[in-house]
Structure 1
């Protein structure tokens, strides 16, 4: 029994009603300098803050002026973000397209497929009010005092909170003089980019826009569609920056928790309160233990204290989001609380009754599913020892581990009897899930334990190029002898999978050209190379061409790989490869694979 259980309102609910407004825990220490959309579109080079300021091109943004856009991006060199204006030109082209004002920015395919309540962003939203762009090289002092620059950097969460839109500018850019290739994968690995993304996803509007080129622009509406990783485990050019961001990240979380309480979103509060262990992983800082004084009834009972701080009462009762206490304890990976809940008769195999749009989870998630996805290995071992079921939801638990690239979780589940090649109702296995999300470490474990045949590997290669597999996953599968010229046969999918893609293909024919619908329309007979170009994974396309992928094959719509490239921006190395010269593709593929790629033998 939870403490205070006889009251009509929990102490947490009373506390939430006492909050008049969101506390200002993310202060703005430096003015929010921006450029107007007109100035941005006239640029022919990326100039530093001081030059723009001297010319009068910078504007200190305030809400009554219009809408602000935060641009997150990678620097193409150590001393300049975009020396050849490659990346900024793509931003300009994408903005021009958005400002046409007709149609919508499509949801990413995962969000469209699993989150029924998610909506695309009407392009009209980009023209109703004037746009102001925050971009670090323009907006943060570059040559002035280090204190001013530090204040601007520490104000980034406050800037993001004031922005109506968040753009992740992630084109595939070849940087030959730096001997690197920048991609969405490298953007997601950067510690500073992870902080910017976390600040957006923990703000009032968690969705953001991924820009890979002017025609590949999509709304990322759920964490599952572009799996997020902790800021503390990101890559930092200066390692000391990792700990500098610890307090910043904690402030972002505290602000999110206060906001959830103030607006009465108790399920949202419970999610983020218990996910602190994930958000702060790799940072030397303690999470918030709670907003309430300890429970008076049983201060030494971890379960009662857990229920008290989460505003929960009964062990097996779901809240308004359809989640039970065991599910929230699983988010935190708290073995002590999990053990206590099971001792008090919580159902180890209880499932969530509703989907969770913000996290991208379908309904019927178990506590084991959640611990596998969030890499809580001790909690996984405990739940497995308590005979948690490996199946039963929409996806086997192994698939959640595969999506999260949780290699240790895959090992634990396979040792407990998990089947690596078991398919979900749509015909996708854990191997395919790992490939789809670029989970190379999980893929390795699944290959070791599952011993897939050539068809499994070829389909995994197709899935990798269909979404976010990246060059490393593509090369691993090629090394394992996946067929680079595999052509997708939709007739091999189970009935539910065929029905889904047939429905989306029909929507495309009727003019609803979302990313998912377009992919479904062209899928039958498509090759990995076609899919890599369609999904703007140009470094993966280069890897396929370097491996000898054929250029003359056609899908069921009579399209070749060149047809998929027509009408969209593609880098020069890929243009050359599609014209039959693979030399530049081989060079770029080598650069894309250089970081962390290890040849595997089986």
Structure 2
């Protein structure tokens, strides 16, 4: 199939649609429409999907963990999964659901509406029956001239509903593959969906909101019932604690009896002495329950307890209760209570990060600063990537200098670029950092083991060829000496590329001699080439 994808009734007429049957391998594709009347009027998304699936089948497109771990991970899909994809079936809404906007002449409109309504209500079932979930989020232009990408996809209420149905499914594998381009696909970062509730999503038809929010309630309740019956206990506790926040409801403050019942403890003493990862302290933190934190502290519970085994939910090993409070966007009162009860504001996780790095609001920053948390300059990378411009402004007011070096003797802009793809306000934050003298021409200079890994990747690319290496190898081979503009071009970040060019960023090569234009071309981000085109003089 080439060009604009055909609608449901046309494919049905041609006998190209298949009814689900047991053992059918289904690939559910979630995407954002590129016009109000047709999801993909020029066939751009379809063409990219075809290339990405072909890359998965051939093994040339390696799906890796998102987040900063993409640099060091070579793990991809298992070979048997690639075989399943080759024989699989695609669920694409335009193919599978009768569309009122593309109804066939002579067919009763009310019947079409009825079929469409039933199909929409069946989305949770479609997702549940799917074996693979792909978020198709290339950077493209909507018919109204707006840019669409991963951040805008995350903002859409219906897209969030599909995503939540997948992640809250009771299947063993609930992973989500985010396809940014034909050569760049990652497993979704675990915390992205938690920060994007269905209730706060964008809906073209406002009347859809209440109906879709009900899907979220059903998904959360189904997840809790399954975990209560089958475990694991840590996940049951997490979702029980986070239920109000996920559904945009007020925090549930429990009395002792209710707390012990809900989180499966026999006594207060057992709860206070629990040293498991998702213990009573963490249950209280994720619940936003300051009263229970005080009661646990009175019974010698550790307010510096650390998490283990929760990375699939976005909370990594050795991160503390205070870090969990910031990452989960708890009220400042929760942070204040932990600090009052002697939580260490300057504790480091094993990756060298602090609670300040994970702040999600201006009040978080102010509270930690007033509590004498160290304001290390590299914390800007985390706050800029995941929080709001207002939160970054609060950090700048604490004399955090965006012109100072961080992990690898450079400013915050390099890591910010890759970590912020799901943040729809990242462009505003970038402009704020540049206004405060962040160096947009700074070169990335890795040190120690990171530098050695980059040099090994350069040698591998030289031996095998750039196109024959995985994305992580290509990226590692390209980052020594790269500028923020080069980074934006390499990952296909059009908004950042435009901002850097508008601000007069220099077209500087990395240590391999690749200009930003070269990096965009090698990673198939052809939409950036006109803006990046340079001419030697």
TM class by smaller structure: 0.7 to 0.9
SS in structure 2 at match of 1:91: helix
Q: TM-score normalised to the size of structure 2?
A: 0.85
Q: Deviations over 1:280-331 (max 9, x none)?
A: 116xxx99x9xxxxxxxxxx982342122222341233465x3321112211
CA contact (8 A) 2:28 2:90 kept: yes
- Structure 2 residue 22 is matched with structure 1 residue 60: no
CA contact (8 A) 1:331 1:371 kept: yes
Identify which of 122, 139, 157 aligns with 2:96.
Answer: 139
Identify which of 433, 436, 442 aligns with 1:486.
Answer: 442
SS in structure 1 at match of 2:522: coil
Q: For 1:455 and 1:365, locate their aligned partners in 2 and report how far apart those are by CA, in whole Å.
A: 25
SS in structure 2 at match of 1:157: helix
What is the total number of aligned residue pairs between the two structures?
502
Change (3 A) 1:517 1:100: closer
Alignment partner, residue 442 of structure 1: 391
Change (3 A) 1:500 1:246: same
Alignment partner, residue 325 of structure 2: 371
Q: Deviations over 1:544-594 (max 9, x none)?
A: 22222222x22122222122123333244x21112149xxxxxxxxxxxxx
- Structure 2 residue 138 is matched with structure 1 residue 189: no
Alignment partner, residue 94 of structure 1: 52
Q: For 1:108 and 1:568, locate their aligned partners in 2 and report how far apart those are by CA, in whole Å.
A: 17
Q: For 1:345 and 1:267, locate their aligned partners in 2 and report how far apart those are by CA, in whole Å.
A: 21
In the TM superposition, what is the alpha-carbon distance from 1:103 to its structure 2 partner? Answer: 7.1
Q: For 1:155 and 1:505, locate their aligned partners in 2 and report how far apart those are by CA, in whole Å.
A: 51
Alignment partner, residue 506 of structure 1: 456
CA contact (8 A) 2:65 2:186 kept: yes
CA contact (8 A) 2:489 2:497 kept: yes
SS in structure 2 at match of 1:44: coil
- Structure 2 residue 115 is matched with structure 1 residue 148: yes
In the TM superposition, what is the alpha-carbon distance from 1:180 to its structure 2 partner? Answer: 0.6
Change (3 A) 1:135 1:362: same
Q: For 1:387 and 1:256, locate their aligned partners in 2 and report how far apart those are by CA, in whole Å.
A: 34
Alignment partner, residue 466 of structure 1: 418
Q: Deviations over 1:258-296 (max 9, x none)?
A: 3323433111111112111221116xxx99x9xxxxxxx
Alignment partner, residue 455 of structure 1: 404
SS in structure 2 at match of 1:236: coil
Question: What are the residue-to-residue correspondences of 1:278-317 with 2, within 5 Å?
Answer: 278-281=245-248, 302-313=255-266, 314-317=270-273
Higher RCO, 1 vs 2 (CA within 8 Å, ≥6 residues apart)? 1
In the TM superposition, what is the alpha-carbon distance from 1:239 to its structure 2 partner? Answer: 2.9
SS in structure 1 at match of 2:312: coil
CA contact (8 A) 1:48 1:138 kept: yes
Alignment partner, residue 24 of structure 1: none
Q: For 1:189 and 1:145, locate their aligned partners in 2 and report how far apart those are by CA, in whole Å.
A: 28
CA contact (8 A) 1:250 1:280 kept: yes
In the TM superposition, what is the alpha-carbon distance from 1:58 to its structure 2 partner? Answer: 1.6
CA contact (8 A) 1:505 1:518 kept: no
Q: Deviations over 1:164-194 (max 9, x none)?
A: 111111111123x403111111111112222
| More displaced 10-residue stretch of structure 1: 118-127 or 228-237 | 118-127
Give me the CA root mean square deviation: 2.9
CA contact (8 A) 1:411 1:445 kept: yes
CA contact (8 A) 1:502 1:520 kept: no
Alignment partner, residue 105 of structure 2: none
SS in structure 1 at match of 2:28: strand
| More displaced 10-residue stretch of structure 1: 229-238 or 255-264 | 255-264
Q: For 1:307 and 1:113, locate their aligned partners in 2 and report how far apart those are by CA, in whole Å.
A: 42
Change (3 A) 1:119 1:224: farther
- Structure 2 residue 70 is matched with structure 1 residue 70: no
CA contact (8 A) 1:302 1:340 kept: no
Unaligned runs of 5+ residues in structure 1 are 1-41, 290-299, 423-428, 492-497, 582-602
Question: What are the residue-to-residue correspondences of 1:398-437 with 2, within 5 Å?
Answer: 398-401=356-359, 405-421=360-376, 429-437=378-386
Alignment partner, residue 339 of structure 2: 384
Change (3 A) 1:521 1:122: same
Alignment partner, residue 496 of structure 2: 540
Q: Deviations over 1:329-359 (max 9, x none)?
A: 211212332233223332222333x242212
Alignment partner, residue 528 of structure 1: 484
SS in structure 1 at match of 2:65: coil
| More displaced 10-residue stretch of structure 1: 563-572 or 368-377 | 563-572
Alignment partner, residue 103 of structure 2: none
